[in-house]
């Protein structure tokens, strides 16, 4: 995670970002602290990446890389405003002895990649259409040695995979079908017949942008209907308030890069 010390909305690269509405930076830090403490209280270890002035989106740490079993597929950002974030993440991984692979193709890390170790022998789900290049999906498969299933995103409001789909545990997912092309919806239905299906209200509340440890599902306070859905599916929803991060087009998952050793 990376604290939102330098967080602002000074450019608009997704439909949620409005440069005319000021961000409450102090509130953003307070809300971020609560998210970090929530994860720590649930027993997780949180490493903190040093924020860099001039990189206001660095708080969305999920976009900096994607790791599977100790190997890290690095990010290469779509927009120049975020390009320098990749190096900060690379420095973290190389410092702590991960195998870091530098990408050739544009991809935004866990924004567009997720991994389900217990589904189909270990499968990577990958989104494209707005940020990550389809060529990066093949590159990730080569670098990580896991099958990658390409899913096409079709709604600009859900520009990253992690705004439209989340792993609930090692083998199941929740997703908002309309964010995907009809063919990709069929692929998801085939691979995950027991998925928890979300609707437009859940997606608009950033309810899909969640982090789950397989038991606890951490999601923002606005996503009340989504909380009820995951509870009905047998998980424990834990809500945290993240109103300021939503102004940049993100929520819980965007703020957390998962480290898969």
Q: Which residues bind ligand ARG (CB under 6 A)?
A: 13-14, 17, 57, 60, 62-63, 82, 111, 160, 162-163, 248-250, 254
Our answer to whether residue 160 is catalytic in this structure is yes
Instruction: Look at the alpha carbons of 200, 205, 209, 215 in this order and tell me if their dihedral is positive or negative.
Output: negative
Min dist CB 121 to ligand ARG, Å, is 26
Q: Which is nearer to ligand ARG, 208 or 231 (CB)?
A: 208
Min dist CB 131 to ligand ARG, Å, is 7
Joined tokens for residue 50: 């040093």
User: Which residues fall within 8 angstroms of residue 95, CB to CB, at 6 or more apart?
Assistant: none
Min dist CB 232 to ligand ARG, Å, is 25
Q: Which is nearer to ligand ARG, 47 or 231 (CB)?
A: 47
Q: Which is nearer to ligand ARG, 62 or 173 (CB)?
A: 62
* The length of the chain, given as a count of residues: 261
Give yes or no for a contact between 129 and 152, defined as CB atoms under 8 angstroms apart.
yes
φ and ψ at residue 212, rounded to 5 degrees: -125, 140
Which residues sit opposite 219 in a β-bridge?
239
Catalytic choice (2, 89, 216, 254) = 254
Q: Which is nearer to ligand ARG, 88 or 236 (CB)?
A: 88
Catalytic choice (2, 89, 137, 160) = 160
Give yes or no for a contact between 58 and 6, defined as CB atoms under 8 angstroms apart.
yes
Active site residues: 160, 254
């Amino acid at each position: 995670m990376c604290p939102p010390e330098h967080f602002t909305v000074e450019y608009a690269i997704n439909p949620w970002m409005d440069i005319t509405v000021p961000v409450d930076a102090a509130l953003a830090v307070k809300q971020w602290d609560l998210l970090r403490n929530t994860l720590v209280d649930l027993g997780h270890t949180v490493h903190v990446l040093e924020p860099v002035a001039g990189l206001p989106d660095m708080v969305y740490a999920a976009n900096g890389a994607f790791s599977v079993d100790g190997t890290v597929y690095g990010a290469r950002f779509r927009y120049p405003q975020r390009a320098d974030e990749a190096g900060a993440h690379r420095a973290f991984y190389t410092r702590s002895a991960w195998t870091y692979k530098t990408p050739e193709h544009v991809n935004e890390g866990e924004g567009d990649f997720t991994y389900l170790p217990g589904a189909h022998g270990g499968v990577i789900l990958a989104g494209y259409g707005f940020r990550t290049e389809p060529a990066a999906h093949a590159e990730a498969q080569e670098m990580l040695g896991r099958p990658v299933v390409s899913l096409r995103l079709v709604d600009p409001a859900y520009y990253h995979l992690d705004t439209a789909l989340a792993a609930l545990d090692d083998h199941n997912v929740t997703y908002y079908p309309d964010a995907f092309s009809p063919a990709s919806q069929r692929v998801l239905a085939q691979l995950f017949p027991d998925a928890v299906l979300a609707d437009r209200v859940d997606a608009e509340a950033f309810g899909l942008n969640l982090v789950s440890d397989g038991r606890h599902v951490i999601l923002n306070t606005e996503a009340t209907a989504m909380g009820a859905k995951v509870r009905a599916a047998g998980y424990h929803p834990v809500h945290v308030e993240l109103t300021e991060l939503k102004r940049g087009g993100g929520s819980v998952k965007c703020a957390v890069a998962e480290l898969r050793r």
